[in-house]
Structure formats: structure tokens, C-alpha cells
Amino acid sequence: MDTNTKDTVIDVNNVEFLYEETDTAQVLKGITLNVRRGEFLAVLGHNGSGKSTLAKHLNAILVPQTGNVTVEGFDTADENLLYKIRQRVGMVFQNPDNQLVATIVEEDVAFAPENLGVPQAEIKKRVEYALDAVNMTEYKEHAPHMLSGGQKQRIAIAGILAMKPDVLVMDEPTAMLDPVGRREIMETVKKLNREENMTVVMITHFMEEAAEADRVIVMDHGKSIMEGAPKEVFSRVEELKKIGLDVPQTTELCFLLKKSGLDFDANILTIDECVNKVMSVYNSKGGATND
Amino acid sequence: MIKLSDICYTYMSDGPFEKAAVKNVNLTLNSGEFIGLMGHTGSGKSTLIQMIAGIVKPTSGKIAIDGQELYAKNCDMRKMRFKTGLVMQYPEYQLFEETVFKDIAFGPSNMGLSEDEIKRRVFFAANLVGIGDELLEKSPFELSGGQKRRVAIAGVLAMEPEILILDEPTAGLDPAGRDEILCKIKDMHQRLGITVILVSHSMEDLANLTDRIVVMNHGELAMFDKTAEIFKHSEELKRIGLSVPQITEVCSRLSEAGFPIAEGIYTVEMARAEIERILKSEKS
């Protein structure tokens, strides 16, 4: 993909950050990366790798102490641009219960556009659009606290969509959800990315989720240490394990079989790829039972 | 032994919002077993473990632990509750003391033990979860997320329960933190010979650790069997909003494609050994 400025929505340039001057270690140590228009970018890293701190830099909740971050060319350090930046980059956090403010779903979704001074008729349209995009229209008159975790998180996403942002940043949005809730969020995010062309940045430590992204950045000790398509990144099994991360079971299986001296590679990601690979090795050794 | 007979629990019974959380569950768990408990959100798993721990009283049915029926006239509930240790979700939110030592000591102090015994238990429990002595005088709030959670678990272990119930002890932890906690739990189970009930959404973790698995669905007991047997029912598990480990899916797909792989594989290591055996024997 082209990396010139036209395609870059967010540019993070050599950012350093520490919370308190007395902190012994910096949280971000000169990280540089960009977010490209229309992509689904996953940021992987263990607890304490700096990934949430990075996320907060993407819409000026935090501003860099050294280096700079620009959103559509706007510098996040310029306080006058704060509204412009936050309208363009919306953030969803881990705990859905901390993000819902109203007692009725549609009022909750309308909260941000109301604060932005959007006219009433337009708000109505946006709320309808946002609830439809996360597949929650039938719950518009429900009370948020009666919904499941996955549904609540989808309402939080709808609340961001109603601002019509350019980028959706999500900081471990599935960490507190069950498998069904996690699936709901992943389906929603992928649909938004594909059908609505929404740029998505997803911070996670679930490698299954990162495996579904277009591009993965791996963070460790406040730096980006790997970057590439999920296939390339996950094939580096030993390096990932060394920094406390996992790879999909399929990748690990092929990696172990390779180590056992069989004709395998660790660039296997999906179940289909893994099954096909085993079958092709099996057939090439004359073990085929069918033609 | 834990024996549940016809257990039911109904929220807000006789009201307009009446909801049956657990319906007619019959279950016998042996002492020293490592039991997995899974089910989607709202399946009744949390209510079930709270009943076993003696926190929630069943609407009907009987629970007996080592032959003693809970809530019976002759039952000393205080004593029975000390038998069962329940580690709730996000237990680190319950830390409150000034120091790690005092926090771990809170449970045993309430049991009316001597100072020496409390001290012994705090060191023992901290050691089990891998919290070094140098951390004991620190404030629990200075620790990392994974450390806080281990301190919270130590607080329950210090009461030396015979049955340890953990409700999603790895939720929100990264893979390294998760492996660390699970490894400690496995180690405790082996060293102390206690019964462990692990509630988890991770099929991979349940596959790696448990002897038998209880599957709950809409308040009812959907399945209860040996771990290998449970993961043979992938269609049924998917229908109730659960899944099988990714590796089990790979093996069943391989079997369909005509690869002569054995049934009942549910860990990566098992799959590696089996596939290697087949491919290497074909070679010769």
C-alpha cells in the first residue's frame, strides 16, 4: 500500500511519553507509525507495552512530550484544534459500563452529536444510521444496562459512529466480553471497515483478532518492534513468545512440525491453510486415500 | 465430594420479572478433580458456583459437600463456607488493605487463627502464587495487574479451602499473565490435592487443564463428561454459543479430508505428536 501523506490519516512521529517525571521507565520510547485511510490496523502488545498510552495519543487525550502526532494534518498538541481532532478520531474503551451515559439506547447514541451542536433532524438521521450499522436498531428504546456486554459495547461504538469520525480507535474492546460478545464486536468492526470504509485501529492482546486485520503492529516496551501483514508477523513465533504474546494454534502447530523436521512453514494462519498444508504434505508422501 | 440434587434458583420469584437462572441441575464432582465450567453469559454458571460456595441459597434442591447438606438444620454454614474458596471475577478490585501481607491475612484472621498460624498461611499462599516476600510490605495498589490478581487469589488460598472455585481468573490478562496464573493453579491443584472448579470462556485453557467439563446452557446442565469427550461435540457446542479449541477444529477437518488422525485431540501438543507420527510413518 502507498504510504504517502495523502493516504495517511494519523501520523505518529517519534513520540516519547512518561506519566510522571519520577517514573523510571518511559511508557512510549520514540514510537513512529502511521494509520492509513480505510485500513483495519491491529496493535498487539502485552500489558504494560504502552499500547493504551499510544491509543490515547491518537485523539489528543494525551499529547506527546517529545515528537508529534497529526490527525488529518492537525497537530494534537495544538489545543485550538482539539474539537476538530476528537470529531475525526473516536475512541471505544474496554469496559462498556463506563461509556454509556443515558438511560435509553437512542439517547445514549445521540449524546455526542448533541454536544457537537448538530441540528435535531440530522441527529435523528445519524442515530438511525449508527444503530443500523452496529445492528442494534431493534433495541433503540431499551435501557442500556439491561443489554449483554457485547450489545452494550456495540452501543458504545454506535455513539462514536454518530459523530461521523474518520477513524475508530478501540482499546481492547473485547477484553471483558464472552466469546459470543467478542464475535459480535469483530463482525461489527469488520463490516464497518469493509462496507462503510471506516478506518479502524484496534488495540488488543487477542491474536485471533489481530489475525483478521489488514496490518499488525507489535509493541514492546514503548516501541513498535514488528509491523506487517498478520501472516508475516505471526510467522515469527519464537520472537512473539519471547515478549509474552501468543500465535494462533494453527501457526504454532505448523511451527512445531517444522521443528520436527517435516516440510512445514510457520506462515500458516487459518484453519483452511493448516488443513491444506497437512494434506499436501501427506499426499506428497503417498498417503493419499482419495484421488 | 460435591453433590447437587435437583438444584433450582429463581430470581425475583413470584414477581413479574421472575427468571429461572438454574433449573434442575444434578451433578456429582469428586474430591481432587479439576473441573472446567463453561457456558455463555447468562447460562447460570455464576449462580451455580455461588450456590456451591454457600453464598446463594438454592430456591429448591439440595447441595451436599462431603456428605454434609448445606442449609440443613445441623449444618454449621460458617464452617462449610471455609471449606470452599471462591475467587470472583476481577478479584483485584477487592483488595483494600495497606499492605499485601495484611490483605492476604484478612481471610485467615477472620477464621480466628493464631498469629503464628496466620503468618505461616500468608507466606505459604504468597509463595504458591509466586508473590515474593519482598512484595509483602508493599501497598497492593503499587503492583502490576497480574500481581494484584495473584495477591487476591492468595487471599482465598490462605484460608486453605478444600474446594477452590475460580471465576474467569485470566479475564483481561495478556498471554504471559494468563499462562502464569494458570500454571500456578495447576501446580496448586497437584501439590495440595484440592478440588478445583475453573470457570472459563477459553476452550484452549479448559482443554489444557481440566479432567472433566460441565457445560451450562440457559440454566440447564447441557453436558458433563471427560474433557476429550466434550470437545468431540463441536456442533452442539457451537449451537449453544460456545466453540472447540482451534486445534480440535483442524483435526476434525483433517479427518473429513481423509487424513487418518485419531479422535479426541484437543491440545496443540497432542496434534503435533499425532500428525508427526502419521507423516513420518508414511515416509518410511
Kind and range of the H or E run holding A67: strand A66-71
A186 closest CA partner among A166, A202, A205, A167: A202
Q: Is residue A192 part of a domain?
A: yes
Task: Tell if the CB–CB gap between A253 and B278 is shorter than 8 Å.
Answer: no
Q: How many structural domains are present in chain A?
A: 2
Interchain proximity A274–B250, CB inside 8 Å: yes
**Mutation test of the interface with chain A: which of B179, B200, B204, B275, choosing the one with the most A Cβ atoms within 10 A?**
B275
pLDDT confidence band for A287 (50 / 70 / 90):
low
Confidence band for B184, pLDDT divided at 50, 70 and 90:
confident
d(CA B238, CA A184): 15
Asked which of A200, A230, A260 is the last residue of a domain, the reply is: A230
Runs of H (alpha helix) within chain B: 45-52, 77-83, 100-110, 115-128, 145-157, 175-192, 203-209, 227-230, 234-239, 246-256, 268-283
Same domain, A172 and A111: yes
HEC secondary structure over A119-175: CHHHHHHHHHHHHHHCCCHHHCCCCHHHCCHHHHHHHHHHHHHCCCCCEEEEECCCC
Residue A242 lies in a domain: no
- CB contact B44 to A (< 8 Å): no
For A84-108, how does the pLDDT look when each residue is reduced to its tens digit (9 = 90+)? Answer: 999 999 999 988 888 888 999 999 9
The predicted structure's pLDDT at residue B282: 61
- State which of A204, A230, A256 marks the end of a domain: A230
> Is the CB of residue B146 less than 8 Å away from at least one CB of chain A?
yes
User: Which residue among B144, B201, B283 places its CB closest to the CB of A48?
Assistant: B144
Chain A interface mutation, best of B279, B280, B284, highest count of A Cβ atoms under 10 Å: B279
- In this structure, the answer to whether residues A190 and A111 fall within a common structural domain is yes
Q: Does residue A128 share a domain with residue A266?
A: no
Q: Dihedral angle at the C-alpha atoms of A46, A47, A51, A57, nearest 10 degrees? A: -170
pLDDT for A182: 85
Domain residues for the domain of A41 are 5-230
Ramachandran bin of A127, using left for φ above 0, alpha for ψ from -120 to 50, beta for the remaining angles:
alpha
What is the reported pLDDT for A22?
65
The verdict on residue A26 lying in a domain is yes
pLDDT average, residue stretch B107-129: 93
Residue B96 has pLDDT above 60, yes or no: yes
Backbone angles phi, psi at B13, to 5 degrees: -65, 150
* pLDDT 10s digits, A114-149: 988 899 999 999 999 999 989 899 999 999 888 888
Residues of chain B contacting residue A175, judged by C-beta atoms under 8 Å apart? 171-172
Are residues A152 and A281 both part of a single domain? no
Residue in chain B lying closest to A148 (CA): B41
Looking only at the bridges linking them, the beta strands covering A74-75 and A66-71 are antiparallel
Q: Are residues A135 and A97 in the same domain?
A: yes
Say yes or no: A194 and A287 in one domain. no
pLDDT tops 50 at residue A291: no
Euclidean distance between CA atoms A160 and A168, whole angstroms: 8
Query: In the structure, what pLDDT confidence band is assigned to residue B200 with cuts at 50, 70 and 90?
Result: very high
**Can you give the pLDDT at residue A1?**
45
Q: Which residue in the set A149, A249, A274 is minimally distant from B204, CB to CB? A: A249
**A203: enclosing H helix or E strand:** strand A199-204
* Averaged pLDDT of chain A: 89
Of A184, A202, A230, which marks where a domain is finished?
A: A230
- The answer on pLDDT for A4 being more than 60 is no
Residue A237 located in a structural domain: no
- CB crowding A236-254: b at 16 or more within 10 Å, else e: bbeebbebbbbbbbbbbbb
Q: A164: burial class by Cβ within 10 Å (0-12, 13-18, 19+)?
A: middle
Out of A45, A148, A281, the one facing B279 most closely (by C-beta) is A281
The nearest CA of chain A is from the CA of B139 a distance in Å of: 17
Tell me which residue of B153, B109, B113 sits closest to B131, measured CA to CA: B153
**Are A83 and A136 contained in the same domain?**
yes
Check B41 against A180: CB less than 8 A apart.
Answer: yes
A47 and B177 in contact (C-beta within 8 Å)? yes
Residue A243 lies in a domain: no
A30: left (phi over 0), alpha (psi -120 to 50) or beta: left
Does the beta-carbon distance from B201 to A179 stay under 8 Å? yes
Does one domain contain both A19 and A109? yes
Judged against a pLDDT cut of 80, whether residue B62 lies above it is answered with: yes
- Which one, of B239, B210, B203, B199, lies nearest residue B222 by Cα? B239
Instruction: Please report which confidence band the pLDDT of residue A19 belongs to, taking 50, 70 and 90 as the band edges.
Output: confident
Handedness of CA B75, B78, B83, B85 (dihedral sign): positive
Quick one: which H or E segment has residue A22?
none
Chain B hits for A289, Cβ within 8 Å: 258, 260
Angle (nearest 5°) at CA B211 between A260 and A238: 30
Model pLDDT for residues B15-53, shown as the tens digit of each residue: 777 788 899 999 999 999 999 999 987 889 989 999 999
User: Does A193 fall in a domain?
Assistant: yes
pLDDT of res. A139: 93
Same domain as A261, residue A167:
no
Residue A286 has pLDDT above 80, yes or no: no
Cell output for B6: 435437583
- Residue range A193-211: average pLDDT? 91
The grid cell for A84 is 476538530
The reported pLDDT for the residue numbered A6 is 54
B138 and B175 in contact (C-beta within 8 Å)? no
Residues of B within 8 A of A207 (CB-CB) are 175
Average pLDDT over residues A253-262: 93
CA distance B8 to A246: 40
- With bands split at pLDDT 50, 70 and 90, how would you rate the model's confidence at A46? confident
Work out the pLDDT band at B283, boundaries 50, 70, 90. Answer: low
A133 grid coordinates: 450499522
Residues A108 and A210 in one domain: yes
Chain A residues with CB-CB distance to B282 below 8 A: 282, 285-287
Q: How many beta-carbon pairs under 8 angstroms link A with B? A: 111
| Distance separating alpha carbons of residues A176 and A229, to the nearest angstrom | 26
- Nearest-CA distance B99 → chain A (Å): 22
pLDDT of residue A290: 44
User: Exposed, middle or buried by CB within 10 Å (0-12, 13-18, 19+), for B33?
Assistant: middle
Strand order in the sheet with B195-199: B84-87, B163-167, B195-199, B34-38, B212-217, B220-226
Residues contacting residue B28 through CB under 8 Å, at least 6 positions apart: B1, B2, B3, B4
ipTM: 0.78
Interchain pair A282, B259: CB under 8 A:
yes
Tell me whether residues A245 and B174 touch, CB distance under 8 A: yes
Put residue A244 in one of left, alpha, beta given phi > 0 → left and psi -120 to 50 → alpha: left
Q: Are residues A253 and A216 in the same domain?
A: no
Q: What is the pLDDT of residues A145-154, one digit of tens each?
A: 888 888 899 9
Q: Domain for residue A238, yes or no?
A: no
Position A276 confidence tier, pLDDT thresholds 50, 70, 90:
very high
- Chain B residues with CB under 8 Å of A271 CB are 246, 249-250, 253
User: Which of A244, A245, A250 is nearest residue B250 as measured by Cβ atoms?
Assistant: A250
**Over 50: is that where the pLDDT of A2 sits?**
no
pLDDT tens, residue by residue, A161-187: 999 899 999 999 988 887 788 888 999
* Same domain assignment for residues A51 and A151: yes
Instruction: Indicate yes or no: CB of A274 within 8 angstroms of CB of B174.
Output: no
Least confident of A39-48, A173-182, A218-227: A173-182
Work out the minimum CA distance from A79 to partner chain B, whole angstroms. 33
Closest CA to A272 of B261, B239, B257: B257
Give the CATH number of the domain where residue A170 resides.
3.40.50.300
Within an 8 Å CB–CB cutoff, is residue B246 touching chain A?
yes
Whether residues A47 and B175 touch (CB distance < 8 A) is answered with no
Q: Distance (Å, rounded) from C-alpha A243 to C-alpha A262?
A: 27
User: How distant is the Cα of B114 from the closest Cα of chain A, in angstroms?
Assistant: 39
Residue A220 is assigned to a structural domain of this protein: yes
